[in-house]
Amino acid sequence: MKKTAADSVILAGSARARPRGCKLLNAAPPQERLQVTVRVRAPRTAPSLSEHVAALGLQGSRRRQYLSREEFLGRYGADVADVAQVEAFAHQHGLTVVRVDMAARSLRLEGTVAQFSIAFGVKLRRARFARGTFRHGTYRTRSGEIRIPRHLQGIIVGVHGLDNRPVARAHFRVRRKAAAGATGRVGAVSFTPPQLAALYNFPTTLTGAGQCVAIIELNDANSSGQPTGAGYQTSDLQAFFKKLDIPMPPVTAVGVDGGANLPGNSPADAEVTLDIEVAGSIAPGASVAVYFAPNTSSGFIDAVNAAVHDSVRKPSVVSISWGGPEDPDGQLAPQFLDGLNEALQEAAAMGVTVCVAAGDNGSADMGSDWDGKPHADFPASSPYALACGGTTLVAAGGKISAETVWNDGPSGGATGGGVSDYFALPSYESSVSVPLSPTNFKGRGLPDLAADADPNTGYQIYLDGTWQVIGGTSAVAPLTAGLLVLINQQLQQEFSKTAGQINPQIYASGAAAAFRDITVGNNDIDHDLNGEYTARVGWDACSGFGVPVGAKLLRLLSA
């Protein structure tokens, strides 16, 4: 017997506004098949995860007691009885249980539009999004709230994938030909990743041996949500590492929710290749696992969970070069923000560092669809993310002559940064002067650090059979991830620990000495926010603490 409206309640945090910047079309075909991820609560008897992570932040690397993945499953994995109730609900509505992930506390369900519409009390429609936004195309959408059976209230905490609009964009910028200072692989103002590692004084005796770095990538998808593009070509990677005379690390593509390595049909191939070549050349002794998932709310959350809870590859660092503005007008349901934030919190509990690009559209954090207000980029704005901003670097002869905040205006891009309107100021940031958010909210400030991101002084990458120069904060996330993989090799050799979430340590008194401060520039990309976030001495909301000095950061995290 199916539930009636009287038997159901609104799922907290599921409200989503009517799609902005699109034309609503007809109802989604009733027989169209889709998969949806349902997240359930942690066991009621489990200790507070937030308190556990907060306690870790008060400890140095040597004393931190992270949970193993097995311990996390035993303590915070889904309750068997809760899963059984959701499975019964799915069966009642003719939905198939495709996968149960006890550690990530999620169930993957499959069925038709008609079945899901009845099960969750939603109306699913088609909508066509205009060119000029990263959502360009036709997708299945919903607005309003999701409803769940009253007896599942508090058990189900998220339902993701009913709407398959893209939720993030890749934060990379290809250098324009007019800006090229030189041709060929060795440009006058661009750098190979190892050259940047040398300029930034990364440890030279470490390779990342014994470590795994996870890279999150989001596939393009068709109107039915099936992945259609984004990936890497092994031949490009082989040519890159051969030319740099660096051993190519093992690279594994991991599919999540139907995601796959699908190169050759997407601009996002540049993102995928950039991430692998940067992280892999910084830490060639580590293995690289690339988690592909559709660019949807369920795909993004599930990909991060797959990496964080991967008990086979056990990555110690995750790199994410995707994101978007924190919900400017209700386009993202709070359950998406909470779900992905929870995955990052779980990473912190297990000693996994998550490096996230801070965005490439300045303090506006939006392109042609800008609403005229500053925005922080998510998931970089999560208090459990290590938010990575961008600089413009000038160097020659192995020495840095100048480094400023990256801001080339609307056409050239600028580093993201700002203050969250959703996540409250974390305790570790109480030591710095974070301004109020645009809505006068006392929120999380970002970025935490910065490095070269300007495409004019960018990274030499081998893509589609040729050398190209690519920048964006997309490059800073894998660069930082590579550094932390090196550091983790040393930490594990010394005392069998990884760095984990380093935010509390880098905000501690005296820790700023591990960074080279960036004090010139701002990220006011459209020059009409009056320099909302301007570089200054110490932490600021466009360059964080500045550029990490690799050897000094290693010493800090070894304390």
Q: Quick check: helix, strand or coil at residue 553?
A: helix
**H/E stretch holding 268:** none
DSSP letter for each residue of 58-109 = TS-GGG--PPPHHHHHHHHSPPHHHHHHHHHHHHHTT-EEEEEETTTTEEEE
**Active-site residue identified among 271, 277, 346, 429:** 271
Active-site residue flag, 271: yes
Say what the alpha-carbon torsion angle 500, 393, 413, 295 is, to the nearest 10 degrees. -30
Number of Cβ within 10 Å of residue 139's Cβ equals 24
CA–CA separation, 278 vs 208, rounded Å? 13
Q: Which DSSP category does 370 fall into? A: -
The sheet carrying 125-129 orders its strands as: 22-27, 125-129, 137-141
CA–CA separation, 196 vs 230, rounded Å? 26
Active-site residue flag, 371: no
Phi and psi of 119, rounded to 5°? -60, -40
Number of Cβ within 10 Å of residue 45's Cβ equals 7
Which is it for strands 377-378 and 386-396: parallel, antiparallel or unpaired?
unpaired
Q: What is the 3-state secondary structure (H, E, C) of 145-207?
A: CCEEEHHHECCEEEEECCCCCCCCEECCEECCHHHCCCCCCCCCCCECHHHHHHHCCCCCCCC
The answer to whether residues 506 and 514 touch, using CB atoms and an 8 Å cutoff, is yes
CA–CA separation, 476 vs 530, rounded Å? 26
**Active-site residue identified among 266, 297, 474, 543:** 474
The answer to whether residues 110 and 123 touch, using CB atoms and an 8 Å cutoff, is no
The answer to whether residues 105 and 95 touch, using CB atoms and an 8 Å cutoff, is no
Active-site residue flag, 275: yes
The answer to whether residues 466 and 408 touch, using CB atoms and an 8 Å cutoff, is no
CA–CA separation, 470 vs 356, rounded Å? 17
**Active-site residue identified among 275, 302, 327, 360:** 275
Q: Which of 400, 376, 332, 397 is nearest to 547 (CA)?
A: 400
**Residue numbers annotated as active site:** 271, 275, 474
